[in-house]
């Protein structure tokens, strides 16, 4: 069994720098070949440094562009807490309004719109007159409001939960006198009558 001698490591081939090339060749460039080799090396160095400059310029441009992007402002813990509180209050207020609306609707559906039918009233009107206050608008539309439940009455009302429509309540004698505004002339009387009874959204 023979031991093979280790192969000697090859020395890495290094590209001579411009200075080295000049040092080697500046003494006496004796031939055209040497001159051409010198020029070729210098050209290679030039191309390399141009490439490096282009790369670093691109990185610099990218960094400058990044500074122009709008930054998200960071909220403080106090601001976050305040926003959470505000949202909670808003949600509670919305829920309260929703329940109030439901209560009002329920009250209006339960109300008979008869004078004195309110639970707080002493006695229901013995003649069964309505608690509706009627009003004739300047467009000659008669609208009403119940003084018990604040329900509004308009000519285009659909029948209510009791199956009674506007005409039914309009025919009933009321305990209140009808009020009336002045009279106006409208270019489009029908449109004015319609606009005079706009519904809440
Ligand atoms: Zn009513």
Q: What is the pLDDT of residues 2-45, one digit of tens each?
A: 566 666 556 555 666 666 655 665 556 578 888 899 999 999 99
The DSSP output letter for 135 is E
Give how far Cα 124 sits from Cα of 119, 160, 173, 176, 178, Å.
Answer: 9, 21, 14, 14, 20
Residue 142 CA, ligand 1 centroid: distance in Å: 17
Interstrand relation of 132-136 and 179-180 (parallel, antiparallel or unpaired): parallel
Angle 166-149-115 from CA coordinates, rounded to 5°: 80
Angle 161-167-172 from CA coordinates, rounded to 5°: 95
pTM: 0.54
Share of the chain above pLDDT 70, in %: 83
Rounded to whole angstroms, the Cα distance separating 155 from 141 reads: 8
Model confidence pLDDT, tens digit, residues 121-171: 888 999 999 999 999 988 889 999 999 999 999 998 889 888 999 999 999
Residue 189 CA, ligand 1 centroid: distance in Å: 30
Rounded to whole angstroms, the Cα distance separating 175 from 114 reads: 9
Q: Which residues fall inside 5 Å of ion ligand 1, going by CB?
A: 111, 113, 146, 148-149, 151
Residue 191 CA, ligand 1 centroid: distance in Å: 28
């Amino acid at each position: 069994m023979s031991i093979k001698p280790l192969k000697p490591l090859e020395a890495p081939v290094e590209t001579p720098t411009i200075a080295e090339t000049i040092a080697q060749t500046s003494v006496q460039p004796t031939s055209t070949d040497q001159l051409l080799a010198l020029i070729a090396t210098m050209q290679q160095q030039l191309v390399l440094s141009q490439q490096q400059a282009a790369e670093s310029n691109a990185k610099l441009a990218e960094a400058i562009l990044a500074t122009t992007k709008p930054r998200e402002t960071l909220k403080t813990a106090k601001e976050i807490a305040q926003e959470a509180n505000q949202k909670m209050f808003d949600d509670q207020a919305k829920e309260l309004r929703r329940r109030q609306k439901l209560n009002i609707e329920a009250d209006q559906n339960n109300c008979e719109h008869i004078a004195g039918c309110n639970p707080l009233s002493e006695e229901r009107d013995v003649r069964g007159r309505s608690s509706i206050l009627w009003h004739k608008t300047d467009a000659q539309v008669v609208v009403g409001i119940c003084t018990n439940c604040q329900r509004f009455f308009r000519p285009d009302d659909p029948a209510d939960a009791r199956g009674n429509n506007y005409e039914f309540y309009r025919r009933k004698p009321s305990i209140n006198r009808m009020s009336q505004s002045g009279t106006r002339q409208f270019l489009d009387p029908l449109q004015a009558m319609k606009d005079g009874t706009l519904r809440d959204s």
